[in-house]
């Protein structure tokens, strides 16, 4: 139940509402349990089933139940004699109506106070999960399926709400009713209560066994639902390829298999869940039958009055419905805990990329970056992708990384802003290890223009300003002008307030790239990381993007990942990588003169153009 206790920990943010809900539930329990038993002796006197009490007891003690009962009977007898039977009966009916009014009023109040608590906990849980996902290192997302994560933050969290939080009021209400009814039962007949307890323990063991099976089934269900979301997200992202290869039927078949497997697991889970109500009811009736048999023997033997036994049966009936609700709540909780476990798997993931104690701040780059004997592997189960990499990126200089696919160029670019930490070796900024700096200060020094233009479903203005504060519209417009983006922005229907759609799909590739450059210009970084993204653009777009990149790079430190080698001819140093190792380094002309790996890359690219 660690997961459940953790969930209840979120209740601390709603102490006031929870307190009001608990008070309302206690009052509901009081009016549920106490109302009818209090009126029973009154009715017995009213209909002359027992003799009226004409004399008050000599002494009444709060520790003597019998003397309290005698005093109550005396008061009621006096009231019936004074007011008359019809008036007394009207008062009794009024009090019964009033008790049930208050019972349902406080029951609604408990639900009223718990509704914002339930929705608030779901909000807090989802916010916590989302914020934690953003903080996790990049390496986690290379192994985890995106659709599975989407399932956890949507369907899993929603399952927690519908299966666990939805029954919180039952958890806070039913125990009070059960305790009150059991207390009355113990006062009425301790021996009969012990007998009933034995039956209830047996019932609880049976229900608990089915509940454990339900939790295991729920975990499987949520995992399969995550696979469905993953498959859907994957298919929508690759729809162009699916259609071009005529693979609609193939993909639909794969999805149908997955969906059918989910259906079979869900049916088995529903069978177990739906078993809770009839099983509980049968066990309850069986308990009542045994209670009638055992209690009737007590009455026949003279050990118990018939009226006392009827009162006991009524009190036991008051236990059955809350116990049934609690059993349903238990089943739902077990089902929801399977989903909560999947959420906690993410929440409990450690994050290695964090600020060290006493981390330094940094407002500007003074001397530059250095890599010394850097090696890197994404996980213990994968081979190294970088081997003993060493080079300098001095302030104001341009270093280019060249080489074939899989050489390690993008990995080096990801190490500089600490998306990953090197497996061995060190990376320093101004002579201090990157891990010695505060993450935010370190990453504020970098501006990244990636191969894929990463934009968000928002306005052009918000995409340029993204993450920055205290920015004026004039600054945004100036950044867009430098990036050769202002003209096409003003031509859109709402200018800078135009929504660009999911991933900027309302814009062309060149327009999207120029917006990312405008975003980098506005950030005014000390170090640029440029994953050159002009290879897929038409000639006009490429010219505009290249011109914007040149303006962006002016006077700045830059690391360029080269795809078109013609764009890095003026770099201060070109580093050629092959399978994670540096095989050549030098200037463009110097490397061409050697006739080595770089010159072969240039010749191969020239032949393909």
CA distance 219 to 15: 31
Q: What is the pTM for the complete model shown?
A: 0.70
Residue bearing the bigger pLDDT, 123 or 185? 123
Among the ranges given (406-410, 437-441, 542-546, 577-581), the one the predictor scored with the smallest mean pLDDT: 542-546
Q: How far is CA 267 from CA 129, 264, 277, in A?
A: 29, 5, 17
More confident residue, 130 or 309: 130
Q: What is the mean pLDDT of residues 247-268?
A: 82
Could you give all domains of the chain from N- to C-terminal order, each with its CATH number? Answer: 2-347 (1.20.1560.10), 368-608 (3.40.50.300)
Question: Which pLDDT value is given to residue 389?
Answer: 94
pLDDT category at 401 given cuts 50, 70, 90 is very high
Long-range Cβ contacts of 548-553 (<8 Å, 24+ apart): 548/482, 548/483, 548/484, 548/485, 548/514, 548/517, 548/518, 549/449, 549/517, 551/482, 551/483, 551/521, 552/447, 552/449, 552/482, 552/483, 552/517, 552/520, 552/521, 552/528, 553/398, 553/528
- CA angle, 359 then 363 then 364, to 5°: 115
- The pLDDT, as a whole number, for residue 603 is 85
Confidence of residue 358 (pLDDT cuts 50, 70, 90): confident
Contact 322, 153 (CB under 8 A): no
pLDDT tens digits for 200-249?
Answer: 666 666 655 555 566 566 667 777 777 777 777 777 666 666 766 677 78
The predicted pLDDT at position 22 comes to 85
pLDDT score recorded for residue 40: 58
Cβ contact 345:196 at 8 Å: no
Q: What is the model's pLDDT at position 449?
A: 84
Q: What is the pLDDT of residues 463-474, one digit of tens each?
A: 999 888 888 999
For 503, left (φ over 0), alpha (ψ -120 to 50), or beta?
A: left
What are the C-alpha distances in Å from 589 to residues 255, 391, 568, 573? 54, 19, 11, 11
pLDDT value of position 207: 59
Backbone angles phi, psi at 481, to 5 degrees: -65, -45
């Amino acid at each position: 139940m660690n997961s459940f206790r953790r969930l209840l920990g979120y209740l601390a943010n709603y102490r006031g509402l929870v307190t009001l809900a608990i008070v309302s539930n206690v009052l509901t329990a009081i009016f549920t349990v106490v109302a009818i038993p209090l009126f029973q002796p009154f009715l017995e006197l009213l209909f002359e089933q027992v003799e009226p009490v004409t004399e008050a007891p000599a002494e009444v003690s709060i520790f003597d139940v019998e003397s309290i009962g005698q005093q109550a009977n005396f008061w009621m007898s006096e009231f019936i004699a004074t007011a008359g039977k019809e008036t007394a009966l009207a008062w009794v009916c009024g009090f019964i109506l009033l008790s049930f009014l208050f019972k349902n009023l406080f029951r609604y109040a408990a639900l009223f106070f718990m509704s914002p608590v339930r929705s608030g906990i779901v909000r807090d849980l989802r916010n916590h999960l989302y914020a934690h996902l953003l903080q996790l290192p990049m390496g986690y997302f290379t192994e985890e399926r995106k659709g599975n994560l989407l399932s956890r933050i949507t369907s899993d969290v929603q399952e927690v709400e519908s299966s666990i939080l939805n029954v919180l009021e039952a958890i806070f209400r039913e125990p009070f009713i059960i305790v009150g009814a059991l207390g009355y039962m113990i006062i009425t007949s301790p021996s009969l209560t012990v007998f009933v307890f034995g039956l209830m323990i047996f019932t609880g063991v049976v229900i608990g066994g089915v509940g454990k099976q339900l939790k295991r089934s729920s975990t499987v269900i949520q995992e399969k639902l995550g696979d469905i979301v993953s498959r859907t997200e994957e298919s929508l992202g690759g729809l162009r390829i699916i259609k071009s290869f005529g693979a609609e039927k193939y993909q639909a078949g794969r999805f149908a298999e997955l969906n059918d497997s989910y259906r079979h697991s869900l049916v088995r889970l529903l069978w177990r869940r739906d078993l809770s109500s009839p099983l509980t009811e049968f066990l309850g009736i069986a308990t009542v039958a045994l209670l009638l048999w055992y209690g009737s023997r007590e009455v026949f033997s003279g050990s118990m009055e018939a009226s006392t036994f009827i009162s006991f049966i009524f009190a036991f009936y008051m236990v059955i419905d809350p116990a049934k609700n609690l059993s349903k709540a238990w089943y739902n909780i077990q089902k929801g805990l399977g989903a909560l476990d999947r959420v906690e798997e993410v929440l409990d993931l450690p994050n290695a990329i964090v600020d060290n104690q006493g981390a330094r701040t940094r407002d500007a780059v003074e001397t530059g970056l250095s890599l010394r004997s850097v090696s890197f592997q994404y996980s213990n189960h994968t081979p190294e992708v970088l081997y003993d990499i060493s080079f300098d990126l001095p302030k104001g200089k341009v270093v280019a990384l060249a080489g074939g696919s899989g050489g390690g160029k993008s990995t080096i670019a990801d190490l500089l802003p600490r998306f990953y930490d090197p497996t061995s070796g060190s990376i320093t900024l101004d002579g201090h290890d990157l891990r010695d700096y505060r993450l935010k200060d370190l990453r504020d020094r970098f501006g990244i223009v990636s191969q894929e233009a990463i934009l968000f479903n928002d306005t052009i203005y918000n995409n340029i300003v993204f993450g920055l504060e205290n920015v004026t519209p004039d600054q945004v417009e100036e950044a867009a002008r430098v990036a050769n983006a202002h003209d096409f922005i003003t031509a859109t229907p709402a200018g800078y307030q135009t929504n660009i759609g999911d991933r900027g799909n309302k814009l062309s590739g060149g327009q999207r790239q120029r917006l990312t450059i405008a975003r980098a210009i506005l950030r005014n970084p000390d170090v640029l990381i440029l994953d050159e993204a002009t290879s897929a653009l038409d000639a006009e777009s490429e010219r505009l993007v290249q011109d914007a990149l040149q303006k962006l790079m002016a006077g700045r430190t830059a690391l360029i990942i080269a795809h078109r080698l013609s764009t890095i001819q003026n770099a201060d140093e070109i580093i050629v990588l092959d399978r994670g190792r540096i095989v050549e380094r030098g200037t463009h002309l110097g490397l061409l003169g050697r006739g080595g790996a770089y010159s072969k890359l240039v010749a191969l690219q020239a032949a393909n153009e």
